[in-house]
Structure 1
Amino acid sequence: MAEPTVAPATGTTASTTVEPTTLWVERTGTRAYTGRSSRGAEVLIGSQGVPGVFTPGELLKIALAACSGLSADFPLSRKLGDNFDATIHVAGDADRENEVYPQLDEVFELDLSELDEAARERLLVTVQRAIDKVCTVGRTLKAGTKVTLAFDVDS
């Protein structure tokens, strides 16, 4: 999603851009890392089968589902109210020979029973458009991205 901006205070003329978040991971044990952000968030990362941690691939999938949900939140809340329930399931098996996820599948669970069929269809089209337009994670996965790696070593 786009970097958020802070709305200007009443009586001011300029908006302030939120500082970019710094992200890093620190090794905390054998095949165990903690992901951290400059906003104080933490996530435990490790190998599959280790209780209480996410694998990097699981985090990728969760990032996609969360981005879709956040991207759809405004049109959904506008139509359904602020207290709607939503669950986004995401799955995709890794191709271990090539170490890629060839396909990721999302299923967005919503209760739209209060809407007639035409209103449901309009809302789902609006939600799909919102996700396609502003879900940065999904857009990046679909487009591909350049990844660089540098080393900062003590010598």
Structure 2
Amino acid sequence: MTSVPDERFPLPEGFGPGSVWADRTGHRTLVGRTQRGVEIPIGHGEGEVNPGELLKLALIGCAGMSSDVNLSRRLGDDFAMRLWAHGTSDEADNRYLSIAEEVQLPLEGLTEKEIATVVKVFGRAVAAGCTVERSVVPGIEVTHRVLGAETDAPEEQA
């Protein structure tokens, strides 16, 4: 199902594949929409996602999608994965100074060498394939950590 904005405003010249839009629904509230018909309530109220949460969700969503194929080769097609993003904006600078990402994977039964390979594969896949991070990182530090891996050191950015 393809969706386009209603006719309250003309389509901008740049409207095309990948365009998204948000319509104001009230004081500091919007509904974000995609051309695939997805709607996301944006704001700070109940049932709404705030812009900082959207940023963090975009980062971990991209990390998960970027690493999925490579991780499935090592962990199986139906592996479980949960990604987290932590960070709050700095009120003085009115920006995020850092966002910490963590991923939980089924590491039980893997050797230390296999775990190290999974960590490396995850980091490389995200560094190479995550368009969102590649766009954001020059402005803020984004770190990754595979929870349960032997080392607690953040994965180096490639």
TM class by shorter-chain length? Answer: 0.7 to 0.9
SS across alignment from 1:88? strand
Which structure 1 residue ranges, 4+ long, deviate > 4 Å from structure 2? none
Deviation digits for residues 85-115 of structure 1 (CA, Å, limit 9, x no counterpart): 1111101111112110000000111111132
Q: Tell me what 1:43 maps to.
A: 40
Alignment pair present for 1:69 and 2:73? no
Identity %: 39
Contact 1:21-1:39 at 8 Å conserved across structures: no
Alignment pair present for 1:96 and 2:91? yes
Distance (whole Å) between structure 1 residues aligned to residue 94 and residue 101 of structure 2: 20
SS across alignment from 1:101? coil
Q: What residue ranges of structure 1 are gaps of 5+ in the alignment?
A: 1-18, 145-155
Deviation digits for residues 24-61 of structure 1 (CA, Å, limit 9, x no counterpart): 000112211000011111111012xx110000011001
Alignment pair present for 1:84 and 2:103? no
Distance (whole Å) between structure 1 residues aligned to residue 17 and residue 125 of structure 2: 23
Alignment of 1:116-135 (within 5 A): 116-135=111-130
Q: 1:120 Cα shift? A: 1.4
Q: How many residues get paired?
A: 124
Q: Tell me what 2:3 maps to.
A: none
Letter in 2 for 1:33: L
Pick the structure with greater CA Rg. 1
Distance (whole Å) between structure 1 residues aligned to residue 27 and residue 88 of structure 2: 25
TM-score (structure 1 length as normaliser): 0.76
Deviation digits for residues 112-149 of structure 1 (CA, Å, limit 9, x no counterpart): 113211111112111110101111111111124xxxxx
SS across alignment from 1:72? helix
Coordinate RMSD, CA, aligned = 1.2
Distance (whole Å) between structure 1 residues aligned to residue 70 and residue 115 of structure 2: 12
Distance (whole Å) between structure 1 residues aligned to residue 88 and residue 18 of structure 2: 30
Alignment pair present for 1:25 and 2:22? yes
Distance (whole Å) between structure 2 residues aligned to residue 118 and residue 98 of structure 1: 42
Q: Tell me what 2:147 maps to.
A: none
Contact 1:65-1:88 at 8 Å conserved across structures: yes
Distance (whole Å) between structure 1 residues aligned to residue 122 and residue 93 of structure 2: 33
